[in-house]
Amino acid sequence: MSRTTRLLLFAIAGLGAVGSVPAHAQDWRMMYFQSQGFQTNYDDGVMCTDPRGFAHRTNHAMTWYLNPSGQGWGKDAAIQGALSAWTNVANADFDLAWGGWDWYAGYEQNDGVNALVWRNDDPFCNQRSCGALTSLLMGPDLVIQEADIIFNENQQWMTDGQFTYGCWMGGATGIMMDTQGIATHELGHAMGIAHPINEFTTAATMGTHACTPDARSLEGDDVDALRCSEDRYPVSPSYQGALQSVGCQEIKGWAYNANQSYQRSYVEIDEDLGGGPSLLGITHADLYSPLLGGLPDPYHAFSYSPTGNRQLYDGEWHTISARYSGNQANVGFSYLLMCEHKMFPESMGPSQQLAIPEGESYEVGTTFTSDYAGYISQIGYYFAYGESAAPSHTVKLWTESGQLLASAAVYPPVNQLHSGWAYASIPRVHIDANTNYRASVDTYEVQSKSPCGEQNSLASPYVSSPLTALGGAWKTGVGQMPDVGSCSNFFVSVTYESG
């Protein structure tokens, strides 16, 4: 958000029937505001890895003041119990302090005071279905600057464990509600925690059963949400870490906050080609790694799969980096990554489609090399019109000495002519730099070919950096590596990946 905004969050909406979900099921439910709106509900819950971020505090120490006017009188112990529920979470640094009474504390938008107050004339919380609400003062970047909690004076606020059954349904005045339960719920909102995805779950303090004493004790779900905020937006972190490897299937590294060793940092994975970083995704550094034995515990590794970021799979080089979420400092060094680079472009096709004499067959292929080590993930062939799927075709990857490294079935493309490029995926094979390899396919009826000296031939090496097609090769019969060199192009290609 670009400026300070006030948002209201209702504790009890009084909608529908009660449902349930297992505990620990909603730990992603953090507040995100689409616009400078005025009300939020469970629909606004987002995952802790949401790339847009979520409402949070940059100072985890906050003092709360109680206005004892009206039903606020005698609620000291209940409020202090609610503050302690969040403060006493193990391995967390939120500190919700009791500031005592403040007869002047109220529902003020920007007075620097986090207040708890009872009133019956609030324009948003005097209807029968509202038990309490939290008013957030939001600054730029979804930072919560201040909060006030307003309790509806029209209800009965209990401290002895009594409550009206069905209080979560609303619909009447004078309902008995547990003060400490509702206060614990509203304090969760004040730290950026939304209602569960299923708002009517009984499994969390942030659900609608907050009007009962059950909400006084945090569930694992609530604790997970608190730690989500702390891990994603730590206060004054001292980071260590490294981006260890970058590949088309997995990006790995580790990130550690030395100031809070129990935290599990979040890491942003970025792509940058000179125009500034573009966020690919966010991952949690909470995995085990035996390489982290020197840390207080080895659970600070991360693993991110980039396969959902299809812009990376264009056969071009991309600069991949990682940054500490909430800090933006780089996690170690950046790496170059190339995914799905094809040796022959899709636009390249044969100048001839030669009929193979009946009863004969050929294994044809391409000898190639790479400037850099990497992986071959696919082998392709340009099917000539008339080369049917039967008998089946097999693409193969060989070493220069004839060792078969991988093979897979390949089929003519499904189009009107059943001709054109078709690729088969293979278990990725590591290749060395500046080393010759050969890709081949068996042919039976019609063969794709551009003879020496013609367009798309290999009379000169065809360079598609980092790959270079050195020349064609053929052999009578199928199943053996083609070993007769040729300057013709038989249109057997490969897909290269740098990592």
Same-domain status, 370 and 351:
yes
Token code pair at residue 218: 């945090």
- Determine the average pLDDT of the residues in 239-256: 97
Assess whether pLDDT exceeds 50 at residue 264.
yes
Same-domain status, 226 and 109:
yes
Same-domain status, 81 and 139:
yes
Range name among 2-11, 61-70, 204-213, 328-337 with the lowest pLDDT average: 2-11
- Residue 16 is predicted with a pLDDT of 21
- Residue 203 is predicted with a pLDDT of 60
Same-domain status, 48 and 185:
yes
Specify the CATH number for the domain of residue 85: 3.40.390.10
Alpha carbon 118 to chain centroid, angstroms: 41
- pLDDT bucket at 352, cuts 50 / 70 / 90: very high
Assess whether pLDDT exceeds 70 at residue 13.
no
- Residue 12 is predicted with a pLDDT of 38
Strands 156-158 and 176-178: parallel
Range name among 5-19, 27-41, 100-114, 115-129 with the lowest pLDDT average: 5-19
- Residue 275 is predicted with a pLDDT of 67
- Residue 146 is predicted with a pLDDT of 92
User: Which of 290, 305, 337 lies at the terminal end of a domain, its last residue?
Assistant: 337
Same-domain status, 333 and 345:
no
Domain count within the chain: 3
How far apart, in whole angstroms, are the C-alpha atoms of residue 446 and residue 293? 60
Which letter, b or e, does each residue of 242-269 get, where b requires 16 or more Cβ atoms within 10 Å of its Cβ? ebbebbbeebbbbbbbeebeebbbbbbb
- Residue 36 is predicted with a pLDDT of 45
Same-domain status, 356 and 480:
yes
- Residue 7 is predicted with a pLDDT of 53
Same-domain status, 55 and 203:
yes
Same-domain status, 368 and 425:
yes
Same-domain status, 328 and 416:
no
- Residue 391 is predicted with a pLDDT of 84
**Domain that includes residue 440, residue range:** 341-497
- Residue 274 is predicted with a pLDDT of 63
User: Which of 288, 309, 337 lies at the terminal end of a domain, its last residue?
Assistant: 337
In terms of Cβ atoms closer than 10 Å to its own Cβ (0-12, 13-18, 19+), residue 394 is middle
Q: Express each pLDDT in 159-197 by its tens digit.
A: 999 999 988 887 778 899 999 999 999 999 999 998 876
Q: At 185, which helix (H) or strand (E)?
A: helix 179-190
- Residue 202 is predicted with a pLDDT of 59
Same-domain status, 325 and 372:
no
Assess whether pLDDT exceeds 80 at residue 21.
no
- pLDDT bucket at 3, cuts 50 / 70 / 90: very low
- Determine the average pLDDT of the residues in 51-77: 95
Same-domain status, 188 and 248:
no
User: Which of 232, 250, 272 lies at the terminal end of a domain, its last residue?
Assistant: 232
Assess whether pLDDT exceeds 50 at residue 20.
no
Neighbours of 414 (CB within 10 A): 8
Specify the CATH number for the domain of residue 319: 2.60.40
- Determine the average pLDDT of the residues in 114-119: 94
Assess whether pLDDT exceeds 50 at residue 48.
yes
- Residue 314 is predicted with a pLDDT of 95
Share of the chain above pLDDT 70, in %: 88
- Residue 435 is predicted with a pLDDT of 98
Token code pair at residue 257: 């906050």
Range name among 31-40, 309-318, 394-403 with the lowest pLDDT average: 31-40
Assess whether pLDDT exceeds 90 at residue 426.
yes
DSSP code per residue over 248-300: SS-EEEEEEETTSTT---EEEEEE-SSS--EEEEEEE--B--GGGTTSSSS--
- Determine the average pLDDT of the residues in 464-479: 97
- pLDDT bucket at 43, cuts 50 / 70 / 90: very low
Assess whether pLDDT exceeds 80 at residue 67.
yes
Q: Compute the mean pLDDT over every residue in the chain, rounded to the nearest whole number.
A: 88
The values of phi and psi at residue 300, to 5°, are -135, 20
Assess whether pLDDT exceeds 70 at residue 75.
yes
Same-domain status, 226 and 308:
no
Token code pair at residue 168: 């979560």
Q: Model-level pTM greater than 0.75?
A: yes
Q: Which amino acid is at 255?
A: A
